[in-house]
Structures are given as structure tokens and as C-alpha cells.
Amino acid sequence: MRVLRCGSDAVLIETEDAEQAQRLHAALRDTPPVGVGELVPAARTVLVHYDPAATDWQRLRAAVTALPLRAAPPAEAAETVLIPVRYDGPDLAEVARLTGLTPGQVVARHTAGHYRVAFCGFAPGFAYLTGLDPRLRVPRRAEPRTRVPTGAVAVADEYTGVYPRTSPGGWQLLGTTDLPLWDTTADPPTRLRPGTAVRFVAVDAGGGDGGREDGGGGDRREEGHAGEGEGGGTGERGRGRAVGGAGRVRCHRAGSGASRVGGARGGAFRGG
């Protein structure tokens, strides 16, 4: 790990790999040294802004290098943002061809993943999610699109993500979500911040309501509506289940015989 001075009120910390960058960001966020302000994580760096009246870069460098870097809790144990996806993307068949899978298997593997936001970049609210199945790691498109629609769910290299606004882009598009991820009237404006745990849930073409799920020792199961076939996927996590189907995301509690629709009405899913 190397600490570089960056102007009069910031240091840039270079890490050995992406995992160390995430662990360092979590440590600085949870136990910030004196004077530390805004943190800006990236793929293998963390930019740390500080108050020159409270500390200087030498003291900050010493404090940073002394921080214990604990392993992050598994994404499946954390409060999770559920993103409903219609897997109808224009590159789904191409990703299947590149990986040697069927389109249904691509969807199943994508919805089975437990993801975490490593950092945000490229465009406001664009979150780079780690945890992608190695079989789904494909290169960017040879020719980027000049216009990728809002809500496009995509993969490229070791990351998956969602385009929060219409923009150019070169990632492979698997599907679309209607869940708003960038809102300038909200505080904060982005739903996905570094450290956030994320799951994708397959839904019908009618869309779906996204929400948040409280991690509680892994006593819930999320399941794509179409199972392992075309356009569906499953992921096991215990007794309950969240099912995307008929354009909705519902939570079924084991043994209750009742369900709640995810979103702003609360229940097992809370609107973000």
C-alpha cells in the first residue's frame, strides 16, 4: 500500500488489489482518523480528503498505514438492495455465445450472485458491482453504443452494473430494470453507494418493484420467476423466498401463507 500526497488537503492511497481497496475504504469509513473527510474509492485506490487544520498528510499517512483492515462481511449477510430485471437485453444471446452457456443459464448465474458496490464512476450513480460469476466475465463490446437506455443491466470484465441514466456505453446489455437508481432530489441522490449489497431478481416484462432486504443470518431465499430455464434464475438462502413474477417482487414468509409487495409499503422489503 502506498500513500501519495494529492494537493494540500488529500492523499491518494494505492492498494495491491480491488479487495484491499474495498477493505481500506470500509475501515476509513467506520473508524476514520482525525481530520478525515470525504472518501472516494476506485478500483485499486482510495482518495482521502482531510482538514489541514486538524491533521497533515504525514500524520494521516501514519494513521492510514496503522489501520487494521478487516475482511468485509459477506454480501449475503448484509442489508440488500433488490433490483428487478427483465432479462431481454440485446446482448444476452451474445453473452451466452461468448460463455458457452444458454441464455437461461446466463440469467440463472447472474441472479444467483451476491454483489457488492466496489466504487462508483464513469457517470453519476454508476456503481461497479463485484461478485460476478467468473463464467459471465466477458469483454466490453468492440463498438460501444452511443446511447444506452436508463436502467440497462450489463456486464463487462469482472463487473456488473446498471446504467442509472441514458448515456453512451460499451458494456454487454443483459436486461433492463425500472428501479430508479439516481435521483437528484434525494439525499443521497444515488441508491447504490460503495459497500452496498445488491441482488438481481428476474421479473416478467411488466416490470417490478425494487426494495431493500434486511440480512438476518441468511433465512431468506430469492428466486427468479422462471427458474433455471430461459429468462430465470435461482439463489438459495434459507426458508423464505422473494419471487419476481407478473411484474412484481413479492416476499413470502415461510409458514405465514401471506405475502407483501416490495417497495415503499415496507414489510420484508423497504423502498430505498
The more confidently predicted of residues 269 and 258 is 258
Query: Are 26 and 159 in a shared domain?
Result: no
CATH of the domain at 146: 2.40.100.10
Q: Which of 80-89, 90-99, 204-213 has the lowest mean pLDDT?
A: 204-213
Percent of the chain scored above 70 by pLDDT? 72
**How many H helices and E strands in the chain?**
4, 20
What is the number of domains present in the chain? 2
Q: What is the mean pLDDT of residues 205-233?
A: 40
Please report which residue ranges of the chain form alpha helices under DSSP H: 18-30, 57-66, 92-99, 103-112
User: Beta partners for 4?
Assistant: 12
pLDDT of residue 263: 30
Query: Are 217 and 133 in a shared domain?
Result: yes
Q: Residue 16: pLDDT above 60? A: yes
- For residues 206 and 174, give the distance between their C-alpha atoms in angstroms, rounded to a whole number: 17
Query: Are 97 and 13 in a shared domain?
Result: no
Q: What is the mean pLDDT of residues 233-237?
A: 32
Query: Band of the pLDDT at 103, cuts 50, 70, 90?
Result: very high
Q: Residue 230: pLDDT above 80? A: no
Q: What is the mean pLDDT of residues 131-143?
A: 96
Query: Are 160 and 57 in a shared domain?
Result: no
CA proximity to 272, closest of 194, 190, 204, 216: 190
pLDDT of residue 69: 84
Query: Are 199 and 98 in a shared domain?
Result: yes
Residue where a domain stops, chosen among 66, 92, 112 = 66
CB 162 within 8 A of CB 128: no
Q: What is the mean pLDDT of residues 255-263?
A: 29
Q: What is the mean pLDDT of residues 50-61?
A: 93
Query: Are 131 and 205 in a shared domain?
Result: yes
Cα end-to-end distance, the chain, whole Å: 35
User: Beta partners for 50?
Assistant: 36
Q: Residue 2: pLDDT above 70? A: yes
pLDDT of residue 75: 52
pLDDT of residue 12: 94
Query: Are 55 and 21 in a shared domain?
Result: yes
Percent of the chain scored above 90 by pLDDT? 51
**Number of neighbours of residue 128 by Cβ within 10 angstroms:** 24
- Residues 6+ positions from 207 with CB-CB distance below 8 Å: 84, 86, 178, 247
pLDDT of residue 76: 53
Range of the domain at 45: 2-66
Query: Are 137 and 252 in a shared domain?
Result: yes
Phi, psi (rounded to 5 degrees) for 245 = -165, 150
DSSP 209-267: --EEE--SSS-EEEE-TTTTSTT--EE--SSEEEEEETTEEEEE-TTT--EEE-STT-T
Query: Are 242 and 119 in a shared domain?
Result: yes
Residue where a domain stops, chosen among 49, 66, 83 = 66
Query: Band of the pLDDT at 74, cuts 50, 70, 90?
Result: low
CATH of the domain at 50: 3.30.1360.40
Query: Are 30 and 142 in a shared domain?
Result: no
Query: Are 55 and 80 in a shared domain?
Result: no
The pTM of the full predicted model, rounded to 2 decimals, is 0.68
pLDDT of residue 44: 86
- Residues 6+ positions from 267 with CB-CB distance below 8 Å: 251, 260, 261
**CA 201, 204, 207 angle in degrees (round to 5)?**
80
Query: Are 6 and 35 in a shared domain?
Result: yes
